[in-house]
Structure 1
Amino acid sequence: MAETILKQAHAQKVDLLIITASLDYPMHEFFKGSYTKQILSHAKVPVLSIHPSNTSPLINQLR
């Protein structure tokens, strides 16, 4: 998953990655820790990690 995100970020020439994990997902800690760490350590652009409770209005606007 992290590799796919990083490849797409490069392909799309993004300036910033914004990532979060869903607290509704049973293994959110596993994914948050694993993928977030991979993305943070390998991203060539700045990464903003947002707590899910702060994103609901933003996510709803983007859908």
Structure 2
Amino acid sequence: MVEIKLRDEYIKLGQALKAANLVDSGVMAKMVIQDGMVAVNGEIEYQRGKKLVDGDIVSLEGEMIKIVK
């Protein structure tokens, strides 16, 4: 599991995927999100701009990201 430390109150889903190196670009992030491949806290998420906060867990193809403050 990759941990992403917040610099602000939140990080957007697309940015988190890029920061964790699960996608190469914002375009790729948009594609995997729109295709329903990304879950936030166990629920499929379709919004690239979804705000992630401390404690959120993101998963993509078996890879996990934990958002920490």
Q: Note whether the superposition's TM-score is higher than 0.5.
A: no
Q: Which is greater in Rg?
A: 1
- Taking structure 2 as the reference length, what is the TM-score of the superposition? 0.29
More helix by share: 1
More strand by share: 2
- Taking structure 1 as the reference length, what is the TM-score of the superposition? 0.31
